[in-house]
Amino acid sequence: MDTEDICEYFKKVKGYMKNTRLNDLSRMLRVTRMHNLGKGKAILVAGIVAWSAFACSFGNVNSAAAASVGLLGQAGIFTEGMRLGGIPYRNRNGRVVVSGSASKQDNVLDGCQVRAQVAYNMARANEPRITLDMLDIADKLGTTMEGLEYSVKTASSVKSKIVRKIDKARQSGEVPKQDYEYVSETGDLLRYTQVVKHDDMADMVRATVKLLEEKGYTVDEVDNKYLNESGRYKAVHLNATSPSGQSFEMQVHSQETLAVGKATHAMYEEWRNPETDDIRKAELFREIKAAYDDLPLPKGIKKLNSYKRNTNIA
């Protein structure tokens, strides 16, 4: 944004603050863990959070709907025009990060159709509002969010996923879908990582589902990776849809599972590389699985059923 845009931005923030109750601003500071600022800075940050979350999100638009729009020229304007910024958050290490900021310099789907770009941009625009809800849930549960700067999948990562899906379709003798169809089907364009105590994982998943539903979200799937004893990776994944129709993923981890993920990340990248031969892939799979299997099982995690929409969580 240029100077004129910034001035206009703060005018809107100031106007929004006049119509926002003080307890709402206090809540925003609390859930973003920014409440230890001086009063003046605190109110300004809270106002910016409020504006980013509520005014910059397009309440009734989602990436799948956007992909169906075929006559939207100059798609680049959606990237900057629909998203003024993410949500600041002080993480468990005390560092302030901004949600979705990793996509700030990586948000153009090179070589893709306009519809694909628009679908991606719509997800980015919806992120701040969803993020504030996820931070509110974490605050209520006494948990934290990890890697919030990556809450929006970068365009290069999305493009890589499209390429992998196209290659897989061709190898199977199928006709690949259009790139915008792959983008609209990608459930983790927005993704979150909630960090809980290891033994509390099952209970925290249940509590998270309950709070999501109370906020009007639909929990489409609970995927308990611990139930797959032959799997290489352990965590619990939630696939959900916001009240506006935007799908996203939340991974529930403990500090222990995150540590294993970090330690095995290089092996995982090699394992998923299409150029890695089958023998090496099998070797890497065993090594990664062994690292996760060395962790103790979270209390009651085997009683947490995986399910898809319209079934019940145990």
Name the residue ranges covered by the structural domains of the chain.
197-314
Give the model's confidence band at 7: pLDDT under 50 very low, under 70 low, under 90 confident, else very high: low
Residue 254 in 3-state DSSP?
strand
pLDDT at 30: 75
Quote the distance between the C-alpha of residue 237 and its chain's center. Answer: 11
* Under 8 Å between Cβ of 218 and 309: yes
pLDDT above 70: residue 226: yes
Average pLDDT for residues 76-84, to the nearest whole number?
Answer: 46
Give the model's confidence band at 31: pLDDT under 50 very low, under 70 low, under 90 confident, else very high: confident
pLDDT above 60: residue 77: no
Residue-wise pLDDT tens digits, 154-193: 999 999 999 989 998 998 999 999 999 999 999 999 999 9
Query: Which pTM was predicted?
Result: 0.80
For residue 245, give the nearest of 62, 56, 54, 53 by alpha carbon: 62
pLDDT at 172: 92
Q: In what order do the strands lie in the sheet with 218-224?
A: 144-146, 191-196, 247-254, 236-241, 218-224, 307-308
pLDDT at 20: 47
For 267, list phi and psi in degrees, rounded to 5: -65, -40
Decide: residue 166, CB within 10 A, 0-12 exposed, 13-18 middle, 19+ buried. Answer: middle
pLDDT at 79: 41
Per residue in 107-119, is it b (16+ CB within 10 Å) or e — as a string? bbbeebbbbbbbb
pLDDT above 80: residue 49: no
Distance CA 246, CA 149 (A): 19
Residue-wise pLDDT tens digits, 241-285: 998 899 999 999 999 999 999 999 999 999 988 889 999 999 999
Give the model's confidence band at 81: pLDDT under 50 very low, under 70 low, under 90 confident, else very high: very low
Residue-wise pLDDT tens digits, 205-225: 999 999 999 999 999 999 999
Residue-wise pLDDT tens digits, 88-105: 888 888 888 889 999 989
Average pLDDT of the chain to the nearest whole number: 82
Q: Which of 78-87, 109-118, 298-307 has the lowest mean pLDDT?
A: 78-87
